[in-house]
Copies of this chain bind each other. A is one copy, B any other.
Amino acid sequence: MLVQFTIFPTDKGEGLSGYVAEAIRIVDASGLSYKLGPMSTSIEGEWDEVFSVIKECRDAMRRYSNRVYIVIGVDDRAGAVNRIEGKIRSVAEKLGQEPKG
């Protein structure tokens, strides 16, 4: 299962990269395959693995913040694995070129 998520506090002003870094540290420590993007982080794993990581990120953020916003996208496809790199490669092959991944 491939999951993309964005998490941030809404009561901590304009600069948020310190809070985001803490979430990434939790994702990294999970051992799951992941990829950072400019606006979200993608993780691959089973439902319970992935949502337990996102819950841990939320718990950490709520220790400092009274209001946390999260956006999650799930692409759950039967039998699909190694999709963090695979989906970009699959699109690149269709393009017949190397996309800016």
Known: A58-B76, A72-B72, A94-B21. A2 touches B38 (CB 8 A): yes
Do B75 and A17 touch across chains, with their CB atoms under 8 A apart? no
Cross-interface CB contact of A38 among B21, B35, B95, cutoff 8 Å: B35
Do A39 and B42 touch across chains, with their CB atoms under 8 A apart? yes
Q: What residues of chain B lie closer than 8 Å to A67, measured between beta carbons? A: 14, 75-78
Do A100 and B58 touch across chains, with their CB atoms under 8 A apart? no
Cross-interface CB contact of A13 among B11, B21, B55, cutoff 8 Å: B11
Interface of A is mostly: mixed
Copies of chain A in the complex: 4
Do A100 and B34 touch across chains, with their CB atoms under 8 A apart? yes
A44 to chain B, nearest CB (A): 8
Once bound together, how far apart are the Cα atoms of A101 and B83, in whole Å?
A: 15
Once bound together, how far apart are the Cα atoms of A39 and B37, in whole Å?
A: 10
Interface residues in A18-62 by Cβ distance below 8 A to B read: 18, 20-21, 24-25, 28, 34-40, 42, 44, 47, 51, 55, 58, 62
